[in-house]
Structure 1
């Protein structure tokens, strides 16, 4: 199939706000594909995540390429996929020029819309994580398989393009064959915000209430002496955290998959700043700042997968294999005990508590509300869309942030407010440099950036407002921290922002 058909489908999806229309357009394209490699490549292109991952072609290389566009479409889906494979496999001396030559040859064969799509694909501008949910439904519709089966297979494989091809070639049976593989990360289960501790307890029934730590999510895999540790975005960090590897090797088991958090602590046991914990994930050797693991779920133990068991049973396994490293909390507390745990978590310097239904199975993403997070203040994870140049003391720095909430139907983030509050001198200097590296339009006053940075915002609430496209505005918003551990697909949605409206 022509690459132009993928490009036109992507444009049609971007032009409509209707989720049904998006699913229809994507599924129609998928139905027309017969070659398994085409299915995988097209699925990856349409969610903005090439099968090859980052191919090593950055802005500097791409901006240096200026070639006239082709008059008529000539490239096929497989042509472009082969190109990305070649670019990704280019390394060593002279690799930058070889990548540029490969890209130049391909762009010469591309029409104007195809050139634009390719450049945005390679620079990450097409990477709309929210579109994964729409594409999951499109795969189900295209190949007439249950959406839940697609979601589960995607959770276990971590690769939507592989899931799509299995749905095409083998249907529901092929999707059901996906299992948890020790050593291969699975997409994590996430929590939804609760209105209050009382509402979460009332809604979920029998629960466990645990500390919500101010740490970084980790997923631990062990098979014999082989250990792998992944972040919430499924990036492997094993080499950076030798103390965690040693701790996992010491657990009384042969194989295990654990879900948890890790953080650095002060001598008094209080958490150190989140940024210090995250800094360890980029290290290649052990440092003085040691990380301490806290586990809250067990997904596999000694040859038995536990994903489909209720949380109550998974916690029994967790206690058996990693009891001393369990996150603080209590099973089936009454209201007074739950409030005591929440107060204790806050006093210890943590974010709040998690309330989890004991009958819940493990499902990637925010599927329902069986896990809920309760914080003493409102916070939202939003996407930075732009920043304004500062005045006075902040002259020369990008300061006032334009903030967007994720569109759950795969459209661009929806702007919901601005803030310059909470920015330290260190953050101002960092974001000024970082934003200019991902700028898409640098004006005299506002610098537009690629929507790929997630920032955690504290706020007093939201109010109805015609000023922003989402119809709501943030009240007294201030920056808490950036979240390099989160993808845009994990930012809060416009629906979650609107849910904070009074009444």
Structure 2
């Protein structure tokens, strides 16, 4: 456990990607099995404990620490795990036992009855130092947040072993933690794990954003155009070994969309976009959000938010790898496969005809009115390559929208930002019942600003706080922020009646009086119609 605690601490305070990769490579090279595999699973998000939850940790701490002191400490630190690690009282007599191994912690949490978990956690917290306690609590609650993802961990595995990351991705989901066969293969001690017909994740091909210089040099005759749908990119893999629905980052989404899984009665791997579709019409992304990250999906949710899969590529057919084929050939195979299979809840993303760059420009300019995110351009001769190869696929999104909003509330972030006010709630003006003006919250933003702007914002918030609500500060309604976003959609979940898609801070406007910020009516006028004639 101490070695894992050191890894987490160094990952947390190491900003550079290459430095994080170096830390992970060292972990794989120096730690024994099964600890290195358990650590890898924790970083990749592949560990989950049904008996240990954040609420259990909070209840346990309440037995040792005054609740008021805990609440004030949590407010100051901003992170529950870090707060507990620092404030956990030393026992009168330090237990005469060594800190637990990482694999011991995981095995115990998997096998021990729920009623016995708190006492065992307390024993471990008593023998660990603050760094070890922090690692233990983050491991138990699944909230590592150290700036290292599963993709980064697999890249580190590739660099450490010399095997291509795409090869590792091919077998990753076919080998459960602690990945002993995987490490044996990477170290030359065993064969490459064979996923056979298991529904494993394949690294997706991603598009580059199309900028003005790229558009000027574009050979339009070499490309095919499709609509860029405003949904969630997924990969559906099905065959004799089972069925899985993967996100573009390799997250298993199968449980949240049982009706799509049921429709995958085929032996193939297809690439497409998950959308809420009613009578052939694509619903706004806000409708799809109702279905995301749900562990249980009831009949009402299935009825009110019917999900379908819009297909645009065929990667495998009955075990045959089609990725080396040109896009045009894969498209022909996809159309033929779809005509034979007719999978329920699925349709084909249509190709968009065009004869010039000028026509493409016109299509893109009309995308917002049609409720579509933009265009995808794909070279007809391009194979399906993992990653983001330059010049083969382009995404040409519609121009973002923007409003000038007033900062209303701020909250500390997580991880490296746990002591900085980096999460902002902003609002727009509307008429109140007395005939005056009031601010109504319209969104939250966590990104878009520079490091220098973050320092300035944090200082401004601390100096202009008017009230506190736990970790949230209400501020003087005086600072204007230019907020850009991809779309606006009606939402009954928000007090304002409207939700923004991907809001981020474009720039700070301390020069602009708050009274001159935009009104709610301005944002409501940007709401997209749910009707879509291009589906």
TM-score by length of 2: 0.62
Residue from 383, 386, 392 that aligns with 2:423: 386
Give the aligned partner of residue 320 of structure 1: 336
User: How do residues 148-187 of structure 1 correspond to structure 2 at under 5 angstroms?
Assistant: 149-154=164-169, 156-158=171-173, 168-171=183-186, 181-187=197-203
Give me the whole-angstrom Cα distance separating, in 2, the residues matched to 1:180 and 1:465: 57
- The structure-2 alpha-carbon separation of the partners of 1:206 and 1:273, relative to structure 1 and needing over 3 Å to count, comes to same
Give me the whole-angstrom Cα distance separating, in 2, the residues matched to 1:259 and 1:101: 47
Residue from 384, 391, 394 that aligns with 1:372: 394
Give the aligned partner of residue 447 of structure 2: 404
Aligned-pair distance for 1:203? 7.6
Residue from 2, 24, 27 that aligns with 2:25: 27
Aligned-pair distance for 1:85? 3.9
User: How do residues 82-97 of structure 1 correspond to structure 2 at under 5 angstroms?
Assistant: 82-88=104-110, 95=114, 97=115
Whether 1:104 aligns to 2:99 is no
- The structure-2 alpha-carbon separation of the partners of 1:329 and 1:138, relative to structure 1 and needing over 3 Å to count, comes to same
Give me the whole-angstrom Cα distance separating, in 1, the residues matched to 2:426 and 2:368: 36
Give the aligned partner of residue 255 of structure 1: 267
Give me the whole-angstrom Cα distance separating, in 1, the residues matched to 2:229 and 2:150: 28
Q: Is the 8 A contact 2:374 2:396 kept in 1?
A: yes
Whether 1:274 aligns to 2:311 is no
Kindly tell me the number of residue pairs found equivalent between the two proteins. Answer: 418
Give the aligned partner of residue 465 of structure 2: none
- Equivalent residue of 2:447, what SS? strand
Q: Is the 8 A contact 2:45 2:150 kept in 1?
A: no
Residue from 502, 514, 523 that aligns with 1:457: 502
Whether 1:354 aligns to 2:376 is yes
User: How do residues 114-153 of structure 1 correspond to structure 2 at under 5 angstroms?
Assistant: 114-128=132-146, 130-143=148-161, 145-146=162-163, 149-153=164-168
Give me the whole-angstrom Cα distance separating, in 1, the residues matched to 2:317 and 2:394: 25
TM-score by length of 1: 0.66
Give the aligned partner of residue 42 of structure 1: 39
- The structure-2 alpha-carbon separation of the partners of 1:301 and 1:376, relative to structure 1 and needing over 3 Å to count, comes to same
Q: Is the 8 A contact 1:403 1:416 kept in 2?
A: no
Q: Is the 8 A contact 1:271 1:350 kept in 2?
A: no
Residue from 98, 109, 131 that aligns with 1:74: 98
- Equivalent residue of 1:214, what SS? coil
Whether 1:65 aligns to 2:60 is yes
- The structure-2 alpha-carbon separation of the partners of 1:105 and 1:113, relative to structure 1 and needing over 3 Å to count, comes to same
Aligned-pair distance for 1:123? 3.5
- The structure-2 alpha-carbon separation of the partners of 1:51 and 1:246, relative to structure 1 and needing over 3 Å to count, comes to closer
Give me the whole-angstrom Cα distance separating, in 1, the residues matched to 2:102 and 2:11: 20
User: How do residues 228-247 of structure 1 correspond to structure 2 at under 5 angstroms?
Assistant: 228-232=244-248, 234-237=251-254, 240-242=257-259, 244-245=260-261, 247=263
Q: Which consecutive residues of structure 1, in runs of 5 or more, have no partner in the other structure?
A: 419-435, 447-454, 467-477, 482-503
Give the aligned partner of residue 491 of structure 2: none
- The structure-2 alpha-carbon separation of the partners of 1:217 and 1:368, relative to structure 1 and needing over 3 Å to count, comes to same
Give me the whole-angstrom Cα distance separating, in 2, the residues matched to 1:338 and 1:300: 31
